[in-house]
Amino acid sequence: MKRYDPEREEILSAGIDIGTSTTKMVISKFSLMNMAGGTHMPRIEIIDKEILYRSPIFRTPLQSSTSIDIEAVERLVIEEYKNAGISPSDIKTGAVIITGETATKKNAQEMVHHLSDHAGDFLVATAGPDLEGIIAAKGSGAYEYSKKTGKVVANIDIGGGTANVAVYQSGRLCGTCTLHIGGRLIEFKGDTIQRISPPIVNVLQSWGESLLEGEVNSSSEIKKITNFMAEVIARMLNRNLLDTDLPLLLGHQPNWTERIDAIMFSGGISECIYQYENPEDSEAQYDDIGKMLAASLKENEELNGWEWVNPKETVRATVLGAGTQTTEISGATIHVESRDLPLRNLPVYQVPFVHDLEKGLSLIHEAVEKAVQVYDSQREGINFALYLTQIPYLGFQDVQRMAKALLDAIKTKPNPGQALVIVLESDHAKVLGQTLKVLNPTQTILCIDQINVEHGDYIDIGNLLQTSVVPVVIKTLTFHH
């Protein structure tokens, strides 16, 4: 009998991160192997990762305070492909992620899709604060550390404009929070203050104090502000923000219930703490409060009460060598409306029923609200897929209750009329899809099943084939450890 020899393949991947302060790029080589048997549907896994090229860290090119300089970013990326000795056509997969305050620029979506057209089948996303925190926690190693140790680990990713916090325990996301804390909230030109961000102005007003643009830089005044930032981070980790801290809160309060065991820092400010990078590899010049903020974090007594875990990556934690893809087929028991296909780059939000129908139904409304927070923080109508897992046995009335809960929950979406995309582990897609359609005939329903994805994956759903199945491409963000 012939021995089955797994198929191997090597592909190149590019990860591009355009942040508030900096833009950087990583090119990696993935070694892939089909881990399924010869007669089974392919199941491709990464068996090895190698970083081939790390770009210098560039200052993010902006046209103005409200828009990205698309042409300058494009020139930068093309030049870095040349420096790496790689043609864009060699890149088979990857990700372009816009993070931090840059994600709120008016042409952010145009930028990300423009760049993704250069090579391969890129995963593209503008990362709102919660998603950025989740990406950074995986890139820094905090997610893996929590899985390995079972500890509750908070990753604090501090860049130019925001501090994005994601808390994990045993690989499970416990919660997130974002603060207006970052290196570029006060910027200098020589010895004078060039720019003070509105959140800092609000803090100073609450203190009855003021700093003015054009004033001479007073290190004692600035240190008072960075010390306050460190104190706010400590109170936030303890879920104990004061009213005076709220000018620095961006979005929701800390929403985890667990007591934190360890903390990890990533982002540009953590590079000031750990200095992993070769200074010659950074072309970005910082005339801001970044180094002083890093010093305040290191000196803060309350923060030093936690175990500090060194990150795997600092400023590059959100740079993804990303976009490994697997293709699965969903068919026979699906409900899709072909006029709305294909769909690309749908982020996945998981709703675990834990084999308890009542518990699962109670989670659906909150899951939709959280998915909007994570994937559509600007409420622009970015769609997502709900992934329902560990569903118990369902009778007819149970399916109706689930359908009603889903239709009720999506009313809170910025664009509730867009396609409702449901992904299921079990083969309930057809009956659930038909029930949803009966309850709301005007709602577009795409219900597929027998697909295994993970929270935070992205999926493409292809056109309906003649055999009444759809190809589903699963894109998993891949991080360097």
- The string of pLDDT tens digits covering residues 232-277 is 999 999 999 999 999 999 888 998 999 999 999 998 888 888 887 7
Q: Highest-confidence range of 20-34, 125-139, 369-383, by mean pLDDT? A: 369-383
Cα 222 to Cα 252: distance, rounded to the nearest angstrom: 27
Can you give the pLDDT at residue 105? 63
Q: Which residues pair with 175 in a beta bridge?
A: 167
Q: Would you tell me how many other CB atoms lie within 10 Å of the CB of residue 71?
A: 11
Q: What is the dihedral of CA 427, 431, 437, 438, to 10 degrees?
A: -170
Can you give the pLDDT at residue 122? 63
Higher local confidence (pLDDT), 254 or 472: 254
Least Cα distance to 68 among 111, 22, 100 occurs for: 111
Can you give the pLDDT at residue 126? 64
Rounded to two decimals, the pTM is 0.71
| pLDDT over 60 (residue 461) | yes
Can you give the pLDDT at residue 263? 96
DSSP tag of 313 = -
Cβ atoms 27, 57 nearer than 8 A: no
DSSP tag of 243 = G
Higher local confidence (pLDDT), 53 or 476: 53
| pLDDT over 60 (residue 404) | yes
Higher local confidence (pLDDT), 320 or 10: 10
Domains of the chain (ranges, CATH numbers):
8-127 (3.30.420.40), 131-308 (3.30.420), 324-476 (no CATH)
| pLDDT over 80 (residue 313) | no
Cβ atoms 445, 437 nearer than 8 A: yes
Cα four-point dihedral sign 117, 141, 36, 448 = negative
Cβ atoms 21, 159 nearer than 8 A: yes
Kindly report, residue by residue over 25-84, the tens digit of the pLDDT.
888 887 767 665 555 544 556 667 778 888 888 888 877 766 788 888 888 888 888 998
Sequential DSSP letters for 73-120: HHHHHHHHHHHHT--GGGEEEEEEEE-GGGGGSTTHHHHHHHHHTTSS
Q: How confident is the model at residue 1 (pLDDT cuts 50, 70, 90)?
A: very low
Cβ atoms 325, 457 nearer than 8 A: no
Alpha helices in 263-349 (DSSP H): 268-274, 290-299
| pLDDT over 90 (residue 226) | yes
